[in-house]
Every structure is written in C-alpha cells, then in structure tokens.
Amino acid sequence: MDQTVRAGHDGADTVIAVDDLRMTYGTVEVLRGVSFAARRGEVIALLGPNGAGKTTTIEILEGFRLRSAGAVSVLGVDPANGTEDWRARLGIVLQSWRDHGRWRVRDLLAHFGEYYAPFASPQQKRPRDADELIAMVGLAEHAGKKIATLSGGQRRRLDVAIGLIGRPDLLFLDEPTTGFDPAARTGFHEVVQRLAGEESTTILLTTHDLAEAEKLASRILILAGGRIVADGSAAELSRRVSGQTEVRWTRAGEAFRHATPDATRFVRDLFAEHGDAIADLEVRRATLEDTYLTIVRQHDEGGEAAAVDAFEGAA
Amino acid sequence: MSAASHAVRLGLKRGWIEFSQSLKASQDIGFNIFMAGGVLLYLFFNRNETIEGSDLLLPALVVPGILGGLVAFSLILGPAFQIAIEREDGTLLRAKAIPHGMVGYVIGQVVLHTLGILPLFVIILLPSLFLFDGATPGDFAGWLTLVAVLAVGVLATMPWGLMLGSVARGPRGVSTWGMLPVIGLLVISGVFYPITAMAGWLQVIAQIFPVYWLGLGMRSAFLPDEAAAIEIGESWRTLETFGVLGVWAVIGLALAPIVLRRMARRESGSAVEARRQQALQRVG
C-alpha cells in the first residue's frame, strides 16, 4: 500500500499508530489531538466518560468515519483508504445490533465466515470453524436457534463470535460485555486472554467495567475532553495518580495502616523488624476505579492541563 | 476466484436463504394471504362484470393488470422498506464490517425480492385458473411474453426501490416518499379498470411511469389480440412497453450503484445509534 502512514511510534510490530488525531463536527471539537500506538498482541482498554470520543476514535480506526486531521495507520494502512483486503484482517464488534432475527446462529456465523475464505493464507486459516467458535463463546446449545429468540447476553456473544469468525489480526470491541451474566463475562475474558496470548491478536476495547479493563488490558488509555489523559498499565496509572499504596496489618491484636510510595520496601522492613508478629497483611494499591475517577475529576475541575500534568509530573 | 465474485455468489446464496426464511415467516405468509385474498375477493365479486366496449369479463382484464401492479409494488417498496429498516437495525453496518459484505448484501436483496413476488403470483394465478375464464395466458407465446415483461419490469423497478431505501430517513420516509406515490400510480395506471376511463392528463402522467407499462405488458401476455381494442391507441404497443420500461431500467441501473455506495459510505455505528434513538422517540 503506498497510502501507508508513518505515524510517530513506528516499528515492525506496530498495529495501530495514531498521531494528533482530530475530529470536528461542525464547530464542536470531539477529538483534540489524540496520539497512541498499539503493538501486536497488546490488549488496550479505552476508557472515558460518555461523550469523550471513544466511539468516534474507534470508528475512525475501523474506517467507518473520516477524520478531520491527524495521521492514522491501522495494520500499516490509512483506514480512510482501507481496501477489502485490509478489512478482512479486522474484527469489529459494535455497540448495538438487532439484526438478522430470522437467521439461525450457526447459519449466520457460517455465512459471514465464507466471505473471509478468499483472504486465507497458509499461516492464517480463514474463516474459523463456526462450531468451534460457537462453543468458545458458550452458545453451543443455542446454535440452532433463531437469533430473534436469543437473550441480550446471548446475542452479544454471537456479536463477539461474528467479530472473530474471520480470524482477525486486530479486533475492535465496543462495550463487548454489556448484558453478560458473571459466568458469560468470565468466559468472555478467557476468550480475550486466549486470543491475545496464543494468537497474538491485537485488541482494542472500550468498556465501562473498570474491573474488566484492569483484568484484560495490558494497557489502559483514558480519553477525556478529546485527548488521551492517561496511558499505562493499571498499576502504573494508580502509582502516578496517588503515588501511595496502602499497607494494612495487625500486630498483637492491634490494627495498623500506613500509606507509602514503596510498599515492597516498607513490608520488607516491617518483617525485618517484627517478623512473625505481623498478621493479616494487606497491600492495597488504589483500584483502577479510584484512579479513573480521580483522573476524570481532575480533568473536569482543572481542564485537561491539570490531568495531563498529574501524569507527566509523576511519570 | 476473486473475492468480489466470491461475494456475489455468497449474495445469491444469502438471497436464497432469506427467501426460504420468508416462506416460513408468519408475517410474510400473512401479508401474501392478505394481499392475494383481497385481490381474489375483488375478482370473485366482479366475475360476471363485462368491460365496456368489449366482451371481456373483468377478471380477464384485471388479473394481468394486478400482477403487473404487484411487481411494481413489491419491487419498489419491498427493498425500500427492508433497506430502511436494516439501516436502522444494524444489518447494513454488519455487512460493511465484512470484506465485500455490501456486495453480498445488495445481491441478496435483489434475489430475495425477485423471488419474493413468486408466492403472490402463484396464490393469485392458481385459483384464477379454476375460478375465472381467460385469466391466464392463452398460449406459449403468451407465457414467453409474461416472462419477458417480468424480467424487464424487475429491472425497471427494483433499482428505484434500492435507491429509495438508501436515501429515505427510516421506514417512515419510505411510507411517505414511496408507498403513497406507488399507490397513487396504481390507482391511475389502469390496473383495476381500463385507463381510458381516466381523465386525459392523468393518462399522460401514468404513461411516464413503469406501473402502467407493466400492466399493459402483462395484459398483452394474457389476453387475445382483439382485447387491445380497449387500450390507448387500440394496440398493445409492445415496442413502447419495452422502450419505457427499458429507459427506467437503464437510468435506475446507472444511478443505483452511485446512490448505494454513497449510503454505504455514510453508515457508521453512531449513525445507526442516532437512528435507533430517533426510532425509540417515535415509539415513546
């Protein structure tokens, strides 16, 4: 492709590269200079309040929406000029579908799978086996059912299966687990971890479930006010925001708590001093939820400058 | 095998699957029975009515006219409503997310709605064979004409249905900009009674559009040559029939890919979501 964009963070393993992406609807600036990159096999969670521009960002990367400015490269191609060969390497799970109610689960999945057959290569078998995939997302007993009769959560799992049928190199998941029960959610998390681990699928997901983001994502991006205001692992983000980890323990029946920037050293010293007298030890880093809320609040109060400073200062 | 021609084949298969689904769907069966039942009742109660200026019975004249009208009705409004609905429910976006999925989708629509007129044809024609005299083509040439008129009629109408569904603002838009005009044309196009009973200026308007010519072409297939006496110009005007339908087909086929591509380009998750919100507001 001669349309390849070289956007900032470059490298052979770079799957997504976004540099100073801007999007304006009329006079409203939705994205005001978004930059980030994703490497092969990374799972990235894109978080942010409603209206922060998450869906707009994903739609630009998917080639469904034309950006106003900035450089974007997805699998080495500018999505604005993405061909069908390029599209065959993407898997897309959007927010809401209510389609194909008359089709049966297995029929629809197999039908969509067939579109990917011409894009197979010896290294990349396409499509995936429909029945295996149905089992993988936990729909085996519903394979022969009409889609209109599925529950919301079952339908969502079918959406995920359709996103995976072409064995994508890059998977976009926009709020994939809405309507999942806890068992389905755990099953879905296993699927994502397996894809990223065994098949090196790169995954970009949005979610409002921060525990999910923490569990799945190797990196978390927080989008607020049209900019990325945080980029790092859950642990990194929490360190940068609070700078403190809370350690709790009991000694001789008495409870203690202490906040420290270096919990490991503190605990080592604690044991050196008191040894077996220490019980009920807990090391509690700020959860992603605490971190997220702090960042979004900082952003709302002080404008994005304060939030960005909070990170860059601590980094 | 190119991926695009592969997608065309998948579209044919998709159309066939959706046609089979439609044969079993109670909603579609109900619609067909309702339409055919209405037509057959109208014919039955007027079975002994003769047409002024000829010795033809009303069913003989009206069965082909109505079949022609149904082609226009089904092939303009069928795809238009379905595309408008499926832009709302995310079917089109799903197709867009798949390599060459839009090609498969559009071919699927063409196959589905072309085959979709067959059940109605069968349940109107079969009883007519037994109930009414002369309400089916009299000879082999007549059947050939029927197939030829059908073929060019499908091409003259379907692209406009596809385009209407692509530009309409939801199913409501199709009702306003598609359903009302098509019903209007059916009324003035001599489908239910000879067009010569209409005011002259209405006859002129009717002859611009494909509905009248579809009806005329079907009558030329079904009726004996003498019956042309009650038509405009006392002739079947075969050349004009294929000419006018052909012009609609050529223009439609030239424009449809442009309009469909433009629609496809604009589909996005947020567009679907916005339409969904609008639809919810209408209900609420």
pLDDT in tens, B100-133: 999 999 999 999 999 999 999 999 989 988 888 7
Contact B99 A84 (CB under 8 A): yes
Q: Is pLDDT of A303 > 80? A: no
Residue A315's pLDDT is what? 40
Which CATH code for domain A1-40+47-82+202-235+287-315? Answer: 3.40.50.300
Structural domain boundaries enclosing B23: 3-275
Does residue B284 form part of some domain? no
CA-closest candidate to residue A166, choices B89, B5, B101, B107: B101
Q: How far is A256 from chain B (nearest CA, A)?
A: 51
Residue A306's pLDDT is what? 47
Q: Is pLDDT of A6 > 50? A: no
Does residue B189 form part of some domain? yes
Q: Is pLDDT of A11 > 70? A: no
Residue A1's pLDDT is what? 38
pLDDT in tens, A15-35: 999 999 999 988 889 999 999
Does residue A153 contact residue A179 with C-beta atoms inside 8 Å?
A: yes
Best-predicted range by mean pLDDT (A92-96, A282-286, B57-61) = B57-61
Contact B13 A102 (CB under 8 A): no
Does residue B143 contact residue B151 with C-beta atoms inside 8 Å?
A: no
Cα angle B277-B282-B283, degrees, rounded to a multiple of 5: 100
The tokens describing A177, both together, are 């687990």
Total tally of structural domains belonging to chain B: 1
> Contacts of residue B262 in chain A, CB cutoff 8 Å?
none
pLDDT band with cut points at 50, 70 and 90 for residue A122 = confident
Cα angle A282-A283-A289, degrees, rounded to a multiple of 5: 115
Residue B229's pLDDT is what? 87
pLDDT in tens, A234-282: 888 877 776 678 899 999 889 998 888 888 899 999 999 988 889 899 9
Best-predicted range by mean pLDDT (A191-200, A207-216, B205-214) = B205-214
Residue B94's pLDDT is what? 92
DSSP 8-state secondary structure symbol assigned to residue B228: G
Q: Is pLDDT of B78 > 90? A: yes
Pairing of strands A43-47, A202-206: parallel
Contact B13 A118 (CB under 8 A): no
Does residue B138 form part of some domain? yes
Cα B22 from Cα B257, distance rounded (Å): 26
pLDDT band with cut points at 50, 70 and 90 for residue B282 = low
**Out of B3, B86, B104, whose CB is closest to A118?**
B3
Q: Is pLDDT of B157 > 90? A: yes
Cα B76 from Cα B181, distance rounded (Å): 11
Residue A90's pLDDT is what? 96
Q: Is pLDDT of B28 > 90? A: yes
pLDDT in tens, B180-194: 999 999 999 988 888
Residue B1's pLDDT is what? 60
Mean pLDDT of B8-23: 97
Q: What's the whole-number average pLDDT of chain B?
A: 91
> Contacts of residue A88 in chain B, CB cutoff 8 Å?
3, 99
Q: Which residues fall within 8 angstroms of residue B202, CB to CB, at 6 or more apart?
A: B188
> Contacts of residue B267 in chain A, CB cutoff 8 Å?
64
Mean pLDDT of A93-100: 83
Poorest-confidence range of A236-240, A305-309, B86-90? A305-309
Q: Is pLDDT of B146 > 80? A: yes
Residue A3's pLDDT is what? 39
Contact B98 A112 (CB under 8 A): yes
The ranges assigned to domains in chain A are 1-40+47-82+202-235+287-315, 245-285
Mean pLDDT of B86-103: 92
Q: Is pLDDT of A288 > 70? A: yes
